[in-house]
Structure 1
Amino acid sequence: MRITIDTDICIGAGQCALTAPGVFTQDDDGFSALLPGREDGAGDPLVREAARACPVQAITVTED
């Protein structure tokens, strides 16, 4: 699995970090970021739900 965050459209709503806190966080400016070592989702079943929860669809989840 590969997760990407389009930082150009992220608005920092934080829904991803609330939905899958083991994978997503927010950086110092409040925008979404992946936790170090979690770039592949770390098997978290909520990654896809976190992508769907993003109000601006800034998160893309694809299979490798």
Structure 2
Amino acid sequence: MVLGGHWFILVYTGVPAADFHRCQKAMAARGADPAPCQWYQRVYKSLCPTSWVTTWDEYREEGTFPGKI
């Protein structure tokens, strides 16, 4: 089975999106500055369609994001 371009984009933007939120959560738990986490955010926001980012934000707020944060 050949995977389409959307799958490639989803994997390579979805992973940094989850990493960004995990990084922020970890830094907040330590009381540390979350500024280093911004790199992940820049990556996924530059590669990912805005509609996906919006949907992921909604999922995260609802607690239904399809990944471990």
TM-score (norm 1): 0.31
Richer in helix (by share) = 2
- Of Structure 1 and Structure 2, the greater strand share is in 1
Report 1 or 2 for greater relative contact order, CA contacts < 8 Å, sequence distance ≥ 6: 1
